[in-house]
């Protein structure tokens, strides 16, 4: 996709439908892809941390998560077609993963959230293979990354908040091909 830069962050200039199609095709081919759904908070934070900005610039897709980004594009005299939020992408990929019999690994949020989420995922997405479900309060991600490498999920969803989730993805994505995406507080929402 073509991109539009807002404060040096390259946002994909496409619709959610086209974006999801591209991701689904590439995940099916077991390509290694890093998705960031960036809200205005993330864009502003990146202005203060050039290392984090470069992580965003090296992601495969940065999507406009929120109306603030769409309006930002307007102010710069360009147009982004629609918002593509982390929560919506997560839910769509779970639906697709269920239909296409894919697998996923979930890391993040409190243990009570994971306990509530586990039966919901099993019930709503029975054909999605869950390779792991872990809370986000670990000291060391390396053992979790090792488990991800061993179980080879098609999609890894990391819900530990920014900037930590993007940093971990940048550090560990090469241990497993497939999708890696930070989803912020989405597990809290999904778990009800
Ligand atoms: N979280 C976590 N580990 C941490 C810090 C936070 O798993 O060390 C979780 C927290 O429980 C919540 C999510 O990360 O589910 C952060 O949600 P928030 O909406 O703040 O995400 P952000 O907008 O910061 O990306």
**Does 185 sit in the ligand 1 pocket, CB within 6 Å?**
yes
Residue 64's φ and ψ, nearest 5 degrees, are -80, 100
Whether cis (ω within 30° of 0) applies to the bond prior to 163 is: yes
Q: Which of 98, 94, 100 is nearest to 29 (CA)?
A: 100
Which atom of ligand 1 has the smallest separation from the CA of 108? 7
**pLDDT at position 71:** 97
**Does 141 sit in the ligand 1 pocket, CB within 6 Å?**
no
Ligand 1 centroid to Cα of residue 145, in Å, is 19
Return the SS3 of 76.
coil
Q: Which of 99, 95, 92, 90 is nearest to 156 (CA)?
A: 90
pLDDT in tens, 143-181: 999 999 999 999 999 999 999 999 999 999 999 999 999
Mean pLDDT of the chain: 98
pLDDT in tens, 15-54: 999 999 999 999 999 999 999 999 999 999 999 999 999 9
Place of tokens 């053992």: 143
Which atom of ligand 1 has the smallest separation from the CA of 86? 25
Residue whose CA lies nearest to ligand 1 atom number 19: 185
Which atom of ligand 1 has the smallest separation from the CA of 39? 23
**pLDDT at position 144:** 98
Q: Which of 148, 147, 152, 183 is nearest to 165 (CA)?
A: 183
Return the SS3 of 143.
helix
**Does 136 sit in the ligand 1 pocket, CB within 6 Å?**
yes
* Predicted ipTM beyond 0.90: yes
Place of tokens 């029975």: 126
DSSP-derived letter for residue 77 is T
pTM, two decimals, is: 0.98
End-to-end CA distance of the chain: 34
**Does 36 sit in the ligand 1 pocket, CB within 6 Å?**
no
How is domain 3-190 classified at the architecture level of CATH? 3-Layer(aba) Sandwich (3.40)
103-122: average pLDDT: 98
Confidence band (pLDDT; 50, 70, 90) for 64? very high
């Amino acid at each position: 996709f073509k991109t539009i830069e807002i404060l040096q962050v390259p946002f994909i200039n496409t619709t959610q439908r086209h974006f999801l199609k591209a991701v689904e095709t590439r995940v099916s081919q077991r390509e290694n892809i890093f998705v960031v759904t960036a809200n205005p908070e993330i864009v502003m934070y990146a202005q203060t941390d050039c290392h984090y900005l470069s992580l965003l610039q090296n992601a495969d897709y940065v999507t406009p998560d929120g109306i603030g980004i769409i309006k930002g594009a307007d102010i710069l005299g360009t147009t982004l077609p629609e918002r593509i939020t982390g929560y919506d992408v997560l839910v769509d990929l779970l639906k697709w993963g269920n239909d296409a019999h894919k697998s996923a690994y979930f890391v993040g949020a409190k243990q009570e959230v994971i306990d509530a989420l586990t039966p919901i995922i099993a019930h709503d997405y029975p054909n999605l293979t869950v390779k792991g479900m872990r809370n986000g309060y670990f000291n060391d991600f390396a053992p979790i990354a090792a488990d991800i490498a061993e179980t080879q999920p098609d999609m890894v969803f990391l819900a530990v908040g920014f900037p930590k989730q993007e940093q971990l993805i940048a550090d560990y994505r090469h241990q497993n091909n497939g999708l890696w995406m930070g989803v912020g507080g989405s597990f809290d929402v999904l778990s009800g």
